[in-house]
Amino acid sequence: MNFGKYKHPDWVNLGLYEAIHHYRMDIIKILLSAGGDVNGFMPFACWLTPLMHAVRYKEPRWDLAELLLDLGVPVNGTNGLGMSALPMVIFYGLPEAADWLLDRGADIDFIEPEFCSTPLGWAARWGKADMAGTLLKRGAHVKHAGMVWSKPMAWALKNGHTAIVELLK
């Protein structure tokens, strides 16, 4: 296996990532006791971080999510694309997970580099009116974005999400 510049990847952390992905709390505990580091090098976390794996389901894995935060995983930690867990749960339409992340300090106006958008921008882009409403009630800034074209209103108008356009007015 070629890991590029990483000649000797931390195999414990590779196993830990897979155990988190597959929600194997028994193996997670063993690997943590063997020195696994939830904030260590995990090459496959370019797509989904351990925290994303915990909160991205219709029935989030709350015990795993709490364990990860207790172990120092940052609530605003990003994957290899620069995205945090909050836009992901917005995309999947998981208001309970969004509230959970926000209650634990997730940045409601964090701009990720892929679409230069905030979580509200993600809700507007993907037509998630209920999620947009949740974010607005929680204090999301309507005009905050990395670029003019990535403002929530621009996404809602471009994609024909009239219910979100009305929310953003």
Q: What is the pLDDT of residues 68-117, one digit of tens each?
A: 999 999 999 998 888 999 999 999 999 999 999 999 999 999 999 989 99
**Residue 25 and residue 21: Cα distance in Å, rounded?**
10
Share of the chain above pLDDT 90, in %: 73
In this predicted structure, the answer to whether residue 7 has a pLDDT above a threshold of 70 is no
In this predicted structure, the answer to whether residue 44 has a pLDDT above a threshold of 80 is no
**Residue 116 and residue 113: Cα distance in Å, rounded?**
5
Q: pLDDT at position 3, please? A: 46
Cβ partners under 8 Å of residue 4, min gap 6 = none
Q: Which two tokens stand for residue 53?
A: 């794996």
pLDDT confidence tier of residue 37, bands split at 50, 70 and 90 = confident
pTM equals 0.88
Question: What is the rounded average pLDDT for all residues in the chain?
Answer: 91
- Domains belonging to the chain, first-starting first, are 77-168 (1.25.40.20)
Q: What is the pLDDT of residues 24-33, one digit of tens each?
A: 999 999 988 8
pLDDT confidence tier of residue 8, bands split at 50, 70 and 90 = very low
First to last CA, the chain: 52
**Residue 146 and residue 106: Cα distance in Å, rounded?**
18
